[in-house]
């Protein structure tokens, strides 16, 4: 509205504000007659105002590729993976990490929880993290083991990584929905959170019942996806969801759970695999808006994720 204020007469602008027409969005989404009822301005004048508002909106919406600011990213603490991801996990939409059980998905997320807390001087964000468990309890023993490693590595002996991690358990869809739509926004307004982990997204939609209503489940998945995107864009936090895998008997391939209903909500999808009993893991970019389909190797040991 500030740009529109410089174009139109002060008295006209004042009447718009008095009629609660206080944003470009309101002007564009109401008809001329609706605006007339609110402001009592002439139809001809309101048509001119709508044209000016449209020009302002177009100017704000379209830009060149060079004008788009780079996404902020959270380092994974593994230089091989950071190289593939051009710096780390993007703070943009929903990032999915999927793979078979025991491949290192939770280890990956625990390390992210530690990395986001580190001082900026060593590649961190100096922010807190939220870890939402939907299946198992939070792996506190492994977390503290990694935290001690980070204390020694970065000389942070007096820092308590556990104080900056907020834990939540959501056993079903309704609990996760209330967490994302009610409790989590309240926390984000009070705390300097930079990362949210959901481990795992498939856990709240798992059912032992063979008669699954896929239409209803698809709507529930859309609600969770929309809530996560809203949180990401409003609070500028990284969103990472772990996903399980299932066998597709038609293609004879292992695929992420929840099908297209969930995939359509995912911004970046990364896969972690392990060949046979090898300790070497493979990290692959399946899709991302700004990354090619590339991969790298890494290992998981007592000190966390490390380059091969």
Other CB atoms within 10 Å distance of the CB of residue 109: 23
DSSP state for residue 208 in the 8-state scheme: S
pLDDT for the residue numbered 215? 85
Other CB atoms within 10 Å distance of the CB of residue 277: 5
Q: What is the DSSP string of 72-112?
A: PEE--S-HHHHHHTTSSEESSSEEEEE-STTSSHHHHHHHH
Of the candidates 171, 172, 269, the one whose C-alpha atom is nearest the C-alpha of residue 217 is 172
**Tokens 């410089």 found at:** 6
CATH superfamily of the 73-307 domain: P-loop containing nucleotide triphosphate hydrolases (3.40.50.300)
Distances (CA, A) of 105 to 3, 70, 209, 240, 300: 48, 26, 27, 11, 10
pLDDT for the residue numbered 63? 65
Of the candidates 113, 109, 232, 235, the one whose C-alpha atom is nearest the C-alpha of residue 163 is 113
pLDDT for the residue numbered 61? 59
Give average pLDDT by consecutive 10-residue segment, the chain, 308 residues: 79 86 84 88 90 80 68 95 96 96 95 97 96 95 96 93 96 95 96 97 77 85 96 96 90 89 96 86 95 95 92
| DSSP three-state, residue 69 | coil
Of the candidates 254, 255, 288, the one whose C-alpha atom is nearest the C-alpha of residue 270 is 288
Give dist(CA 254, CA 268) in Å, integer. Answer: 18
pLDDT for the residue numbered 208? 53
pLDDT digits (tens, 9 = 90+) for 130-180: 999 999 899 999 999 999 999 999 999 899 999 999 999 999 999 999 999
Helix (H) or strand (E) holding 152: helix 140-154
pLDDT for the residue numbered 72? 94
**Tokens 């280890």 found at:** 107
Give dist(CA 221, CA 261) in Å, integer. Answer: 7
| DSSP three-state, residue 230 | helix
Report the CATH architecture of 2-62. Orthogonal Bundle (1.10)
For the chain, which residues make up each domain, given as ranges? Answer: 2-62, 73-307
């Amino acid at each position: 509205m500030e740009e529109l204020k410089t174009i139109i007469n002060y008295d006209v602008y004042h009447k718009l504000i008095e009629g609660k027409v206080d944003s470009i969005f309101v002007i564009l989404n109401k008809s001329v007659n609706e605006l007339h009822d609110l402001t009592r301005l002439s139809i001809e004048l309101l048509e001119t105002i709508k044209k000016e508002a449209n020009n302002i909106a177009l100017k704000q919406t379209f830009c060149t590729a060079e004008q788009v600011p780079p996404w902020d990213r959270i380092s994974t603490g593994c230089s091989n993976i950071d190289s593939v991801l051009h710096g780390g996990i993007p703070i943009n939409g929903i990032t999915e990490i999927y793979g078979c059980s025991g491949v290192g998905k939770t280890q990956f997320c625990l390390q992210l929880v530690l990395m986001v807390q580190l001082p900026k001087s060593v590649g961190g964000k100096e922010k807190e993290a939220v870890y939402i468990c939907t299946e198992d309890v939070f792996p506190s023993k492994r977390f503290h083991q990694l935290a001690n490693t980070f204390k020694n590595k970065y000389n942070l002996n007096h820092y308590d990584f556990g104080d900056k991690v907020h834990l939540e358990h959501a056993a079903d869809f309704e609990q996760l929905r209330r967490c994302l739509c009610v409790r989590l926004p309240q926390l984000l307004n009070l705390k300097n959170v930079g990362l949210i982990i959901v481990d795992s997204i498939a856990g709240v939609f798992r059912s032992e019942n063979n008669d699954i209503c896929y239409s209803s489940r698809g709507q529930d998945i859309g609600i969770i996806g929309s809530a996560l995107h809203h949180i990401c864009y409003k609070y500028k936090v990284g969103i990472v969801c772990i996903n399980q895998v299932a066998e597709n008997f038609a293609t004879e391939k292992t695929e992420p759970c929840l099908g297209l209903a969930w995939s359509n909500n995912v911004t970046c999808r990364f896969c972690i695999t392990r060949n046979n009993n090898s300790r070497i893991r493979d990290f692959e970019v399946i899709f991302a808006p700004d990354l090619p389909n590339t991969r790298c190797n890494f290992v998981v040991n007592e000190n966390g994720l490390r380059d091969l």
